Amino acid sequence: RMAQEASAMRIKNFLRHFGVNIVRVFDGGIAPRTLVPHWIHFQEYYKFLDVDPIAAIRHSELESQEDLAALLLEYPEASVQVAVGGPMTGLHQLVVRCPEVASRFKEVHAMFATWGNVELMQFGDKPRGALQFNVACDPQAAHAALLGLDCPVYLMPTEVTRVKEIGFVNAQALRAALPDNDGTRALYHLYALWYDAAVKPRQDKNPDELIFIHDLVAALSLDDSLRKTIYDVVPVKITGVPYLPNEADDWGKVLMKKCRASQKGPQRFAATGLTRGGAEAYLSVLRRIFE
């Protein structure tokens, strides 16, 4: 609960630097499996240590999932676009609590899955192959979302989120690529901490390790024009998402293959790479977002 409160407060405080005031942040749950320590995201933990935890919950930064479900049910069917930047945990919990909300989804866009051929995905020195972090953190939710939702789902795999041409060698390179304002200075501070804690230790072993601002990928995919400009996207058939205990060695995989667009059943799509000129377009959009 403290982690969720801290994250909600972080996003509210961070966006104020850009003049954006978020009134409501809804509870998205916590993925059941944590594969990489994310202590750097939760520095706000410590501000809660001198607070009565019951009082902290009563005066919560978070809105309940029940309230979000009620809000979504006010919209027409197939009218709500969904962007997922991490595991499918929150989306799955919302549908479990209120199955009717699934009918409101128009499309789901997610930074999710991998084709299994990313050179930059190493923790320690062991390549992860076809395993992808967001899938592995909650394979049960991944299975439910990818094989259970009727709406189209667009996947932005690791092959398009960790590409050298859209990475930054250090925090200073990131700062040089963005406009200078209160928001980007706050962003630079966060990524300076992140670089020292998480990127440089791996960069010392593999010079190709870079900073990637990939949390926006699902949001970029929401825009049909941007998606077509930046990414090569193909229709896919998802044949399986391992999620049972006897499949634990494969938790983190999405088994998919290219198919014809006219295939029957729920439509699924996945990016295979950046288009010609896609990297330049991505960096240009990134700069515009932070102006």
Rounded distance, CA 126 to CA 115, Å? 17
Note whether 284 and 172 are same-domain residues: no
CA end-to-end distance (rounded Å), the chain: 33
Q: Indicate if the pLDDT at residue 61 is higher than 80.
A: no
pLDDT of residue 44: 46
- Residue 141: CB atoms within 10 A of its CB come to 27
Residue type, 243: Y
Note whether 70 and 59 are same-domain residues: no
pLDDT of residue 53: 56
pLDDT of residue 6: 72
Please name the residues in contact with 207: beta carbons below 8 A apart, sequence gap of 6 or more.
none
Q: Which of 203, 226, 252 is the last residue of a domain?
A: 203
**Contact status, residue 188 vs residue 17, Cβ threshold 8 Å:** no
Q: Which of 183, 203, 223 is the last residue of a domain?
A: 203
Note whether 74 and 190 are same-domain residues: no
Note whether 196 and 227 are same-domain residues: no
Please name the residues in contact with 51: beta carbons below 8 A apart, sequence gap of 6 or more.
none
**Contact status, residue 186 vs residue 14, Cβ threshold 8 Å:** yes
Note whether 221 and 127 are same-domain residues: yes
Look at residue 40 and give its three-state secondary structure.
helix
The dihedral sign for the CA sequence 12, 9, 198, 111:
negative
Rounded distance, CA 202 to CA 188, Å? 20
Q: Indicate if the pLDDT at residue 164 is higher than 50.
A: yes
Note whether 127 and 6 are same-domain residues: no
Q: Give the residue numbers spanning the domain of 54.
A: 1-63
Tracing tokens 């994250």 back to the chain, one arrives at 7
Q: Indicate if the pLDDT at residue 124 is higher than 60.
A: no
Task: State what percent of residues in the chain have pLDDT above 70.
Answer: 86
Q: Report the chain's C-alpha Rg in angstroms.
A: 19
- Provide the H-helix boundaries in 116-244: 133-137, 139-148, 158-161, 171-177, 182-194, 200-203, 217-222, 224-230
**Contact status, residue 2 vs residue 47, Cβ threshold 8 Å:** no
Residue range 78-105: mean pLDDT, rounded: 97
pLDDT of residue 267: 95
pLDDT of residue 197: 80
pLDDT of residue 31: 87
pLDDT in tens, 188-199: 988 888 888 888
Q: State the average pLDDT for the chain.
A: 87
| Torsion of the alpha carbons at 218, 3, 33 and 162, rounded to the nearest 10 | 30
Rounded distance, CA 266 to CA 180, Å? 43
Note whether 95 and 49 are same-domain residues: no
pLDDT of residue 45: 44
Note whether 48 and 95 are same-domain residues: no
Note whether 224 and 159 are same-domain residues: yes
Note whether 128 and 223 are same-domain residues: yes
Number of domains in the chain: 3
Instruction: Count Cβ neighbours within 10 Å for each residue of 100-131 and write b for 16 or more, e otherwise.
Output: ebbbbbebbbbbbbbbbebebbeeeeeebebb
Q: Which of 268, 269, 253 is nearest to 139 (CA)?
A: 253
Q: Indicate if the pLDDT at residue 154 is higher than 60.
A: yes
Note whether 245 and 136 are same-domain residues: yes
Note whether 35 and 159 are same-domain residues: no
**Contact status, residue 48 vs residue 2, Cβ threshold 8 Å:** yes
Give the lowest-confidence range in 116-120, 215-219, 233-237, 257-261.
Answer: 116-120
Q: Quick one: pLDDT band at residue 259, thresholds 50, 70, 90?
A: very high
* Between residues 290 and 22, the one the model is more confident about: 290
Which CATH number belongs to the domain containing residue 101 in this structure?
3.90.245.10
Q: Which of 14, 40, 63 is the last residue of a domain?
A: 63
DSSP state of 199: I
Residue range 216-242: mean pLDDT, rounded: 96
DSSP state of 55: H
Q: Quick one: pLDDT band at residue 29, thresholds 50, 70, 90?
A: confident
| Torsion of the alpha carbons at 114, 115, 119 and 125, rounded to the nearest 10 | 60
